[in-house]
């Protein structure tokens, strides 16, 4: 029998959750960027090795919610933490504990789940605030001391991680497998994610834009893959992918397109390359930039982007 567990990967935005999930899976299943609120959906990354299988739920980082999209993302993160076998809270320990970090600690202290891993991420950076995080945990626990029945609560296991380097998250993987219990595999051993391909392509495109954008635009940029037309060629299948790029205000359109269409060309080229590799096809991507005021509040559009569906 194999060891199996469903792991909720949670923590504040930019802590490195998606980077960690990719490192554990050994393949890119979730987009990464230095911009806050990069992940908008719950994405399952699946790790299978000789020990068994871990299903990792990468979630949007908690943040001060603005608007419907922000509230939906926070709800997804909270819901994903519930109903899992293991909670893995990721902290960016190259920074002092922030409000959202303390919030997760207080939640763990209150609920006292049996299996919790606290990951102090970005251990390659200096300064590294390991002690401050331990102190913050002691304080959170002192606010919710265990009752008689909860005396067996062992507290979280702590582990350091450098999620950006090969092998830097090995200890995290070992701890998670130690926690896992015998059971049936939940997915085929070759599966690394079950994220729908339209959403994966939209995310790949959004990641390329994020690399070029600053400040407010990333949060008002939405990508919808409208259609994928498949045809055959001699070597590989050809996918013609039609995509809407939504912005919130007319002034954002020229920024997203870029001078002499440079930004959009850059995004298209990199996304075509990535999609080709991901799916083993030849990808042609057409990007149509549209001004859609208030799209972040439009339930139909949010649902097209997959942000409303059932999550766990």
Ligand X SMILES: Nc1nc2c(ncn2[C@@H]2O[C@H](COP(=O)(O)OP(=O)(O)OP(=O)(O)O)[C@@H](O)[C@H]2O)c(=O)[nH]1
The contact set with Mg ion (CB under 5 A) reads 17-18, 38-39
60 forms part of the interface with ligand X (CB under 6 A): yes
**CB-wise, 34 or 280, nearer to ligand X?**
34
Task: Work out how close the CB of 104 gets to ligand X at its nearest, in angstroms, rounded to a whole number.
Answer: 12
Pick from 53, 52, 50, 105: nearest CA to 81: 105
Task: Work out how close the CB of 220 gets to ligand X at its nearest, in angstroms, rounded to a whole number.
Answer: 15
Could you give the CA distance from residue 161 to residue 171 in angstroms, rounded to a whole number?
7
**CB-wise, 116 or 283, nearer to ligand X?**
116
Pick from 308, 311, 309, 300: nearest CA to 244: 300
Could you give the CA distance from residue 92 to residue 207 in angstroms, rounded to a whole number?
21
193 forms part of the interface with ligand X (CB under 6 A): no
Stretches 10-18, 78-86, 222-230, 261-269: which one binds ligand X (CB under 6 A)?
10-18
42 forms part of the interface with ligand X (CB under 6 A): no
Stretches 41-49, 120-128, 189-197, 280-288: which one binds ligand X (CB under 6 A)?
120-128
Could you give the CA distance from residue 205 to residue 192 in angstroms, rounded to a whole number?
20
> Per-residue DSSP letters for 100-124?
HHHHHHHHHHHH--S-EEEEEE-TT
72 forms part of the interface with ligand X (CB under 6 A): no
* Residue-level length of the chain: 312
Contact partner, 41, from Mg ion, ligand X, none, Cβ < 5-8 Å per class: none
Pick from 45, 30, 24: nearest CA to 175: 24
Tokens for 35, please give them. Answer: 């911009």
Contacting ligand X (CB under 6 A), which of 61, 97, 156, 306? 61
Contact partner, 167, from ligand X, Mg ion, none, Cβ < 5-8 Å per class: none
Pick from 111, 131, 109: nearest CA to 120: 131
Classify residue 69 by burial, with Cβ atoms within 10 Å: 0-12, 13-18, 19+: buried
Could you give the CA distance from residue 62 to residue 77 in angstroms, rounded to a whole number?
7
Residue nearest ligand X, CB atom distance: 61
Could you give the CA distance from residue 36 to residue 63 in angstroms, rounded to a whole number?
9
Stretches 12-20, 152-160, 225-233, 263-271: which one binds ligand X (CB under 6 A)?
12-20
Contacting ligand X (CB under 6 A), which of 107, 122, 219, 268? 122
Stretches 37-45, 174-182, 227-235, 288-296: which one binds ligand X (CB under 6 A)?
37-45
125 forms part of the interface with ligand X (CB under 6 A): yes
164 forms part of the interface with ligand X (CB under 6 A): yes
Alpha helices in the chain (DSSP H): 17-25, 67-81, 99-111, 130-143, 170-179, 197-210, 252-257, 262-279, 299-304
Contacting ligand X (CB under 6 A), which of 162, 223, 224, 305? 162
Stretches 11-19, 137-145, 258-266, 295-303: which one binds ligand X (CB under 6 A)?
11-19
Classify residue 79 by burial, with Cβ atoms within 10 Å: 0-12, 13-18, 19+: middle
Could you give the CA distance from residue 180 to residue 53 in angstroms, rounded to a whole number?
9
**CB-wise, 53 or 80, nearer to ligand X?**
80
Contact partner, 125, from ligand X, Mg ion, none, Cβ < 5-8 Å per class: ligand X
Residue nearest Mg ion, CB atom distance: 39
124 forms part of the interface with ligand X (CB under 6 A): yes
37 forms part of the interface with ligand X (CB under 6 A): yes
Q: Which residues bind ligand X (CB under 6 A)?
A: 13-19, 32-34, 36-39, 60-61, 121-122, 124-125, 162-164
């Amino acid at each position: 029998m194999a060891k199996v567990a469903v792991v909720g990967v949670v923590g504040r935005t930019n802590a490195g959750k998606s980077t960690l999930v990719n490192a554990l899976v050994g393949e890119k299943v979730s987009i990464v960027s230095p911009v806050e609120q990069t992940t908008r959906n719950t994405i399952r990354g699946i790790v299978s090795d000789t020990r068994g299988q871990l299903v990792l739920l990468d979630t949007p980082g908690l943040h001060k919610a603005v608007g419907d999209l922000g509230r939906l993302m926070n709800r997804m993160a909270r819901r994903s933490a519930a109903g899992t076998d293991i909670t893995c809270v990721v902290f960016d320990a190259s920074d002092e504990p922030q409000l959202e970090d303390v919030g997760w600690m207080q939640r763990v202290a209150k609920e006292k789940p049996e299996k919790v891993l606290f990951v102090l991420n970005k251990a390659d950076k200096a300064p590294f605030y390991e002690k401050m995080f331990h102190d913050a945990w002691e304080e959170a626990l002192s606010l919710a001391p265990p009752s008689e029945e909860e005396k067996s609560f062992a507290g979280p296991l702590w582990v350091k991680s450098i999620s950006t380097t090969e092998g830097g998250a090995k200890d995290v993987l070992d701890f998670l497998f130690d926690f896992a219990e015998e059971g049936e595999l939940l997915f085929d051993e070759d599966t690394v994610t079950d994220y729908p391909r339209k959403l994966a392509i939209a995310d790949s495109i959004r990641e390329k834009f994020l690399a070029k954008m600053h400040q407010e635009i990333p949060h008002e940029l939405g990508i919808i893959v409208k259609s994928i037309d498949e045809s055959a060629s001699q070597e590989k299948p050809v996918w013609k992918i039609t995509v809407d790029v939504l912005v919130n205000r007319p002034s954002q359109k020229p920024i997203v397109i870029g001078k002499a269409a440079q930004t959009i060309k850059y995004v298209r080229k990199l996304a075509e390359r990535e999609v080709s590799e991901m799916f083993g096809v030849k990808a042609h991507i057409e990007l149509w930039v549209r001004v859609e005021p208030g799209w972040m509040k439009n339930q139909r559009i949010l649902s097209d982007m997959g942000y409303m569906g059932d999550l766990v």
